[in-house]
Amino acid sequence: CLGLGFGVAASAYAEKPLVLGFSQVGAESEWRTANTASIKDAAKQAGVTLKFADAQQKQENQVKAIRSFIAQKVDVIAFSPVVESGWDTVLREAKAAKIPVILTDRAVDASDKSLYVTFIGSDFVEEGRRAGRWLLERAKTMPAGDINIVELQGTVGSAPAIDRKAGFAETIAANPKLKIIRSQTGDFTRAKGKEVMEAFLKTDGKKINVLYAHNDDMAIGAIQAIEEAGLKPGKDILVISVDGVKGAFEAMMAGKLNVTVECSPLLGPQLMKVAKQVLAGETVPKRITTEESVFPAEVAAKEFPNRKY
Ligand code: AHR
């Protein structure tokens, strides 16, 4: 069981709406906007009173928000941690106040797993592997010689940046022709993705065969940089990214992006369900993994009408 004593007063919550404090990373990407909308909509649907705080991609803002949720004595705290480490103190404070914490989207590296009830979100290592597997297949059809890859990483120290890098590197190691020649953060934003890709193009230009971006927004920014450099994204430079937002499908339909690995932001309904279960004293799994797929450009037009974000 949870071992925190949540649910002891379950009956006390029977009539009043559950109050959920949620600390969001920010509004850095199309994905994040969809994630915020999913959480707000689901709270409304579930009759949950949501206290929402935007951290503007700063850990200190998230810590402040969590402390304020503790002071307000919310029933449950949920958050998507901007980076993996540095959460132990504030999580211990929540535990001392007997407020259950649910992680969504991104994980923390706390050694004491009792500091949070569950983690709902994607398997980012697997997403990196899926991107790598697509490239391994594609490499079979590419001319002999080295295949030079540039990588746009997500926010430094964040779980998706660490895991997507690791999963991709581990997978492409199967083909020694595949070489990552540059790897730098673009902070999950279009503007930074473009800026860093411009720098890559300046130093390595025509040597670059493949771009692997840890999210669609950075890929879309980089696509612009590739075009401005007089090259064709999707052809001269293959473009691989992660998320599966509508913007990526549009880029695929325009022939500028080759594949996107899905990462679903639609976590709201599951979060509300789990928050209610936790408060009712029910045992929930420690890890709830989102089911996802891979969309190569060839299926983009067919899949586009089904996309929800
Ligand atoms: O944590 C999920 C990642 O964060 C998404 O891939 C990215 O777009 C977002 O900013």
Here the ipTM equals 0.99
Q: Is 173 exposed, middle or buried (0-12, 13-18, 19+ CB in 10 A)?
A: exposed
Interval 180-198: pLDDT, tens: 999 999 999 999 999 999 9
Q: β-pairing, 101-104 with 76-79?
A: parallel
* C-alpha distances in Å from residue 205, one per residue of 17, 178, 211: 57, 17, 12
Confidence at residue 211, expressed as pLDDT on a 0 to 100 scale: 98
Max distance between CA atoms of the chain, in angstroms, equals 69
- Beta strands 118-121 and 287-289: pairing type? parallel
CA 155 to centroid of ligand 1, rounded, Å:
9
Residue 114 C-alpha to ligand 1 middle, in angstroms?
25
Rounded to two decimals, the pTM is: 0.94
Per-residue pLDDT, 206: 87
Rounded CA gap, 235 and 227, in Å?
Answer: 11
188 lines ligand 1 (CB under 6 A): yes
The atom of ligand 1 lying closest to the CA of 217 is 8
pLDDT of residue 248: 98
- 260 forms beta bridges with 241, 295
**Residue 142 CA to ligand 1 centre (angstroms):** 30
Separation of alpha carbons 51 and 33, rounded Å: 17
Beta strands in 8-48 (DSSP E): 19-24
pLDDT at 63 (0 to 100):
98
Nearest to 216 by CA among 259, 173, 270: 259
